[in-house]
Amino acid sequence: MCGRFTLSAPTERLADEFDIPNPPALPPRYNIAPTQLIAAVALKPDGEHRGIVRVPWGMVPAWADDPNAAPRLFNARAESVAFKFGECFRERRCLIPADGFYEWKAFGKKKHACHFSRADGGVFAFASLWDVWADEDVKLVGACMVTTTPNELVQPFHERMPVILPRENYKEWLDLETPEKRLLSLLKPYPAELMRAKQVGPAVNSSKNEGPACIEPRVSEAKDVTPALF
């Protein structure tokens, strides 16, 4: 599972990473939480060019009778995504740009957050889906990210991690002609040796907090709070 992430990269880096000329300016975000607006990269109606749109993080299931009562879907498991999200998985895939995500782990009586990112600090993309729930009066667009089993770096913190796609796989993921078998083969843990992890302070614990303080390193309060993997 992924419940918070960051996207603080400047617009020009997003333009280069996702091959999108003149993308909309996005403010740096350090504590993106479910239900909030996020950036999503998808193919335009021409099926060739990419664009960035802002949509809520969380999809209303297409089968829901009442969108106000239905749970929002923030994550989709890789092992069942083709079955549970059939048409959506085949026809409405997108990329969620990010430069890090958070997970929490208990050390003693307290939980501390860890920020995971690429080892080179670069921008990356979560393999994601988008969908629309609509009736005569309402149209609700949303997105969710696909999760998989964790790599060796994330595993001590959580049993799931978001699927991070390498840049060379962006085209395949967005292309509607990519075979399902190939799509499923992309849904695997990102190599641990290409990532880094950093314990951060308590600012990120509240989704109301924003700003660079959320990714500032945590000052240890006791000898037993820093896991061996750091």
Active site residues: 2, 103
Query: For the chain, what's the residue count?
Result: 230
Helix ranges, the chain (H):
11-18, 81-84, 86-91, 170-174, 180-185
Query: Rounded to the nearest 5°, which phi and psi values hold at 140?
Result: -120, 115
**Which of the 8 DSSP states describes residue 96?**
E
- Other C-beta atoms closer than 10 Å to the C-beta of 226 total 13
Residue found by looking up tokens 């896991």 in the block:
227
5 residue type, one letter = F
3-state secondary structure of 39: strand
CA distance 54 to 36: 10
The token duo for 31 is 């504590």
43 residue type, one letter = L
3-state secondary structure of 217: strand
List for the chain the helix, strand, coil content (%; round to 5): 20, 35, 45
Please list, in sequence order, all residues whose beta carbon lies within 8 angstroms of the beta carbon of residue 110, skipping any fewer than 6 positions away: 225
Residue 143 pairs with which residues in a beta bridge? 57, 130
